[in-house]
Structure 1
Amino acid sequence: MSNSAKKTKEMEQYELETGKQAIWQGKTTKGFLRWKEGEKDYYADKKRISVYVSSETERNWQEFINSHKISSFSKLIRESVNYYIKERSKFGGNIFTDLEISGESKMTHILKERLTTIKGFSQLLLEKYSDSLNDEIKSIINNVLNETKQLENKFIVKLEEKELKPTLYDVLLIEDDLSTVDLLQNYFESKGYSIKGVLTGVKGIEELRMSKPKLILLDIILPDISGFEICKNVKSHELLMNIPVFYLTAVPGSKVEEKIEETKANGYILKPFDLPDLEFLFEYL
């Protein structure tokens, strides 16, 4: 079937029922052929959900579908939602919820709870049964208490050392355009400041789990998580909320202004920008 072939009414009915295309890249789809042969029971347990979007959004989605060879809007939406659910479930309500007790610190947190229990029961034994315990048993219990206290102190020292670890860089740049990352890395380094550039929101979150930069420059449209969402979570987390966050974006200024109060960003810089436009950022470094 050629690209110029007209869709039949049967094809239109198929697309209406399933949300899938009957013709893709000039060929009749296998899905339509199966549907035509009577395999309609495949859709019996499926529910159709309609999505209303602007013409501009539809064009953007269609361009993405064409460039990535995705067969239908329906498949794009399903895969996008599944990806979002999978990624969002990693972070819970706030994408930085587990920041303080992730990895090694989480294990330390659990061990400290167990040590508290051991200490508590040991102290209760000495207080409630002191008269009935011989000196040897009392000595053993006291040794247990001393050992748990020493172990707990080691954990506390280790955590404090980790928390006081100096920041590895001054600026965290979360930006999916590699040329912009290269430009800003060269610019800030020429001014004597260290900068870390990452290309996705998830990578930016990982960096903020390990380090606390003096300044965050944040693109709004990222391939995984919205910059608005990242900023809102940074500003609602007690360990990160005082870090200045500036959007670096091609989104119209009026749209950014609408989100400034909600996300609590410190400001924004619109693309295209001139390097002198960035000089005010040095006040935060």
Structure 2
Amino acid sequence: MKIYQEETDKYAIWRGVVTEGFKKWLKGEKVYTRAKERISLYVADEVKTDWQNFINVNKPAFPTFSELIRQSVNAFIEDSSRVSNELSKLNPTTISNISHALKEPLTSIKGYSQLLLESDEYRGKLSNHIEETIKNIFDQSNLLENIIKNFLDNIQPNVSPYDILLIEDDLPTIRLITSYFENKDYICKGVVSGTKGLEELKRTIPKVILLDIILPDISGYDICQTIKTDNSFKKIPVFFLTAISESEVKKNFRTSLANGYILKPFNFSDFDVIFEILNGKAN
């Protein structure tokens, strides 16, 4: 009895009665530990009948309702992952176009149905049947909207690796620097805000980060501190690329935890320190 309780973390006797689990254990039958939990669900009689008919036809593979549910859930998870992986191979522009094509007509359908339901002009003038139909259209529109958001909007396209992450809100500067590094056989990825830069880090770890200080959403100083205090990113060299005065940069440089800075307007020779890092020659 003591061995049973140590192995299963279950009582052999509960309130003066020998437990069924202990009886099964004595017979050599499998006893589930508390690592497994029972999950109950309610279904309509028609659904239960359909499931039972399926089990009767496929008895060897699905001997019980529990086995049918377990395998069904596992198959659904595998299928969802496979579909997500396939969609992730699509061009980001294609995904965006699909999302746009679905959302545009949905916006009109949802908007007009809401307008009919809430407008004083039509209140009390619609028959119950028509009003219920419009409510159903509105509810289904919300449902479809959530499906689009949860499915298409969360697809992460396959990300190609790159060497440098450039967080810079000036597009001509992004084009100039990415072209320069491409001519040197390095890949530079440019994003136009601090938020996008931090999101990009969750997908790909670059060899070095070039960071503007004045950005439309988050200060470059704050972004640098965020990166340098995160165990996943703190080893990435971060260099400010900025047009503010050098005295201002020096005043905040230590607390920002940055590795260095390059002032605008820059000479391409200023990027020699970046090439040393890319080539593994930096101290």
Class of the TM-score when normalised by the shorter of the 2 chains: 0.3 to 0.5
Task: Name the TM-score, length of structure 2 as normaliser.
Answer: 0.47
Q: Which has the larger radius of gyration?
A: 2
Task: Name the TM-score, length of structure 1 as normaliser.
Answer: 0.46
